[in-house]
Structure 1
């Protein structure tokens, strides 16, 4: 860790830099209660309280962590438009929206495409149609590979009649993915913070070892070249967001005008429960 304000540290400064609100801490204390005896609380319970708090207060925006370029071959070159996008889902009692730019070249998540998908993969694949969040239906027509045989670019077509995500002919698509316009997206750095230790109680280690033996080597993963929609460009420092389908994030003090930095507060779901169940 880099100091008392490192977002992995259970300090007031660390939690603030990680985007955890005072309300989330109070809600957690209401859940676990206060005891005069020494007790351990599951970190998963704390993360649950943080998710519940942020879910009801932060706007949703789109950020692509591992960009894969998509070219819409039947979208007019030079054309641009703005799509309406809500900041909040229907179950959050807040209102607000923003305009999201749309153009011929987009970025999607690399993990949202597979050349030879398994049966239950409902995202983009050759010949398959998906919905772009707030946008159009697109169909993958061609896959461009680089010299190493890796996917470098996708050529797709879009259906202009499906603006907003619905089809006039009533056809359904199972997959909805997020995206950003390649021309308008901002470069940003993501710091994916996770639990500092690999087990719930770092003092519970074999004889002859200490807490250093259970440090999580993946407690911080830096994504240097993510792409985020431009609506966040003029937001205040330490603004909090839900990056759709990714997690909750907060702006960091290391941000610059040319490259904002965002710290992950918590994932959308408890991925650790799944990992430890394997």
Structure 2
């Protein structure tokens, strides 16, 4: 790729990505070009003949080569949007997914007064997207994000600072709630729920570049729910709620596991694709 204008660089990149079998090659190429050259998407349309700096062309070439190897765009630019908020991401955390915004919608519907003090626990916080998003929506809420990975917690702390909620968020290294000794009004959790046998069939962007520990959950994909059920019961206040994500066709199994520990399903919510994506539980 020796192109020096926006349009020629873009078209060359689209051709390369399409030949490599990358989905949505034009979208990816445009995102990477805008990131590299520090230009707005509108500029790609309004000024296609604008010349690119040689160093930007070299960087763009490198990013396209990495995308050909199926490295996610979010990793290449270092950021993923969730709930219209920016989140730093990378190989140490699961990328925030639009499907997980279902949990935020479900949780906010449970809160009739957003100006009251609410305590939030995010089990398996990863990038911190669930906890941080809730704290941006609830100005008087405080929360704790828990993760077994210290590297993930480092990312979550950066994201809390970037989204101006670090004064109301704390982060703790723990296996689920093992080291947590208080109860919370609201518990959020997006646990691993992929069966080990399904992992290799995931798209390369996921299986090769995202942490397996944040994805896999035993032979049937339900192991983490079994670990979580008693913890959620212990950590939730009597009138509190837990909002827990699940995969396609898993809600009934999750409800059975949780009910065996004294948790009752209060609500179920579907994502934009019509898949049952989370359950709301209470004691």
* Normalised-by-shorter TM-score class: under 0.3
| More contact order relative to length (CA 8 Å, sep ≥ 6) | 1
Q: Which has the higher helix share?
A: 2
TM-score, normalising length from structure 1? Answer: 0.25
Q: Which has the higher strand share?
A: 1
